[in-house]
Amino acid sequence: MTMGDRLRALRLQKKISQGEVARYIGITRSAYSHYEINNRQPVYDTLIKLSAYFDVSLDYIIGGSTGKTKPETPEVQETNEVLDLLKHMSHEQRMQSIHLLRDLIRQRNEESG
């Protein structure tokens, strides 16, 4: 299975469009479509973004292993949980949550500094 085949399968598994993937990783839909049809190879930074987006190892994307999942650290699990929660919020709720998190970090920095 080629990298393009794997990317396409992962995208279809999530039931999302090429445009959605492209927006997340910061490229055009056309550029992403070239990855799926094996006309182009993503650069390293893009591979990392794809790995994070599809929650698979880099090795899986490039065709090295057959196992999709990568070992998750507690930080990755927590980050994924936060992202999942944010996905289910309205724009206003997301903005409020972001402001709250920034305030908490700012307060912690002030207390420790």
Q: State the pLDDT confidence band at 87, using cuts at 50, 70 and 90.
A: confident
The pTM is what? 0.58
21 or 79, greater pLDDT: 21
Cβ neighbours for 28, distance < 8 A, ≥ 6 positions apart: 22
25 or 72, greater pLDDT: 25
- Asked whether the predicted pLDDT for residue 7 surpasses 70, the reply is yes
- Asked whether the predicted pLDDT for residue 70 surpasses 60, the reply is no
3-class SS of residue 88: coil
Q: State the pLDDT confidence band at 64, using cuts at 50, 70 and 90.
A: confident
Nearest C-alpha neighbor of 57 from the set 69, 41, 47: 69
